[in-house]
Amino acid sequence: MKTISIIIAVFLLSFVQKEYHSQQGVSFNFEKYQEGTIPIAWTEAVTGDGGMCSWKIVDDKNSKVLSQLSTQRLEYRFNVITNNDLSYKDVAISLKFKGVKGISDQGGGPVWRYKDHDNYYVARANPLENNYRLYKVVNGYRLELKRAKVNMQTGKWYSLKITMIGNKIQCFFNGKLLMETTDNTFSEAGKIGLWTKSDAVTYFDDLKISPLK
């Protein structure tokens, strides 16, 4: 019976993973995951200070989303979760996010070309500051590459999209190109993930990852 149970569990895990794959890339809407769990094949990490972050599947008005729930209020603390199986160099990443609460921060966004918890690119928008910023994190230090002003509100969904081909990065907010630059720091393929800062409780949904070459 134990062997049969293991076989069934492996089959179900394989089904959950494969249902999101297509020739155009990979999509995650998180509906198939159990509430209160970390999605299959995703790993949490923290850049900076404090203990481990807390990423969980939660219910948001009868729709399951991935949320960062830790409320550790530390200025230099970045909460990250990455997919173990996806690694891209030239890529397009789109998602929806909603800042739910946080005194210090309510922002969030994607990470890409992720080498480890101290080295990656991140683009994030923040409803507390009404801005959208592009950073690179190098050896644990966050360095700003570009910034833009946006109008946002806590509790509302917004869409973000980034594309990177070679050293060229483009960042879109609600479908509009707001930031564009080049950077050569991370030139190899890396993992894809999500990011928040400090005590930001942020929801994410409809994550789509597409190779561009």
Question: How many angstroms separate the CA atoms of 78 and 43, rounded?
Answer: 14
pLDDT at res. 80: 98
- pLDDT at residue 40 greater than cutoff 60: yes
- Side-chain-facing half-sphere of 200: CA atoms under 13 Å: 30
pLDDT at 10: 42
Range 100-117 average pLDDT: 97
Per-residue model confidence (pLDDT) at position 85: 94
Model confidence at 155: pLDDT above 80: yes
Q: Which of 83, 88, 28 is nearest to 211 (CA)?
A: 88
What H or E segment, with its residue span, contains residue 72? none
Position 78 pLDDT exceeds 70: yes
25 or 53: which leads in pLDDT: 53
Question: What average pLDDT does the segment 92-115 reach?
Answer: 97
Give me 153's structure tokens.
């509100």
How many Cβ atoms sit within 10 Å of the Cβ of residue 158? 20
Give pLDDT, residue 12: 44
Q: Give exposure, 109-146, as e/b (b: 16+ Cβ within 10 Å).
A: bbbbbbeebebbbbbbbbbeeeebbbbbbeeeeeeebb
Among the four given CATH numbers 3.40.640.10, 3.40.50.300, 2.60.120.560, 3.30.1460.30, the one describing domain 2-211: 2.60.120.560
Quote the pTM value.
0.89
Give the chain's mean pLDDT.
91
Residues of the chain with pLDDT > 70, as a percent, come to 89
Residue 18 has pLDDT above 50, yes or no: no
Q: Amino acid identity, residue 24?
A: Q
Residues 143-165, mean pLDDT to the nearest whole number: 98
Q: How far apart are the first and last CA of the chain?
A: 46
